[in-house]
Amino acid sequence: MELLQKTLDAIAPTDRAVMAAAQKEIDYCLKPPGSLGKLEDIARQIAGITGKIHNRITKKAIVVMMADNGVCSEGIAMYPQDITRIGADFVTSGRMGVNFLANYAGADVIAVDVGIQVDVDLPKVLNRKVRYGTANFLEQPAMSRAEAVQAIEVGIEVTNTAIDQGYDLFGAGEIGIGNTTASSAVLYGFTGAHIDRVVGRGAGLTDQAFERKKEVVKQAVRLHRPDPDDALDVLSKVGSLDIAGMAGVYLACAARRVPVVTDGLISNVAALTAIRLKPEAVDYMIPSHISFEPGAKLLKEITGLEPMLDMNMRLGEGTGCALVFSIIEAALRMIEEMGTFAAIGKSRDEIGNHVMAYRGEFPR
């Protein structure tokens, strides 16, 4: 708990003064005000995160948290739980979906065993196992409060180490059979929203299994009655170890003032968990895509994180993060490489006054 508390205490709002200064630089680029849309938003946000107007990404990583879920015994997953262990092998040998996209983006994949149900002896997997999968939360809490904290601190520790190694842009992903059920249960525990807004088909459930999944989520929350105002209570009772680990990634990035990209449903449930632990953490998150899962729209409403892409994706693993890395780097090139109004003899103050008038910030 000491590392978690230290991390929470270190998180402060992004630097609004630097963001304003960055916006002036963006507005001085030779273009109509706001015409590069979300690229401008990203450049301004990263300036506020780092405290610098001029930024360049040098090392990128997607942290993939891997864990099993005891609730799989309830028949809520299409695939057997052994797939998580196989996924660990595939992701470290470059054969998972996230790998080819990470390679394309020039990013590394950091694979972490935070709770696979069996021992994993793979040299490229970080062994940070908190326990051998969660308990079946339809029968008992998924984990203890202390284990939830430990899993969050795994994410913090792994991310801090990577930042110390020079990584300056992160994504958060996961591998774990049954984790869409856990993420739905966490979202339901936080919101109490209608079950059809929360639970989706995950990896392709049949109609019968889909209805069972919804019933399991409702019953688990009804049984444990997690406190929606206590993120650790929700996480420990109906969550998963990979969600906890990803929450730690987000918190570490916020504490160290490094941008971090969210992926799909499970990654964004972890983001919501981090936000409930420290609201200012949201300022350091950059959303990638809107998941095909119904809970993704609810998460967008709650967190205010507006995804850039709509690709009908629902794979997880951090795949959406890899796609957006290049967009983020393009946004940062704008201030560095785009021509300015100096080419036609206009000063920054002249353009600044024009833009302010355009935006209605003072009378013409």
- DSSP single-letter state for residue 15: -
Cα separation, 161 vs 110, whole angstroms: 11
For the chain, what's the residue count? 364
Residue type, 352: G
Phi, psi (5° rounding) for residue 196?
A: -75, -15
Residues in CB range of 137: below 8 A, 6 or more apart: 70, 71, 182, 185, 220, 224, 237, 238
**Which strands, in side-by-side order, build the sheet including 60-67?**
125-127, 108-115, 60-67, 169-175, 260-262, 285-287
What is the C-alpha to C-alpha distance for residues 111 and 150, in angstroms, rounded to an integer?
17
Catalytic residue of the set 317, 329, 337, 350:
317
211 three-state secondary structure: helix
| Whole-angstrom distance, CA of residue 201 vs CA of residue 272 | 21
- Per the DSSP assignment, residues forming a β-bridge with 309 are 289
Q: Is 317 an active-site residue? A: yes
Q: Could you give the residue numbers annotated as active site?
A: 317
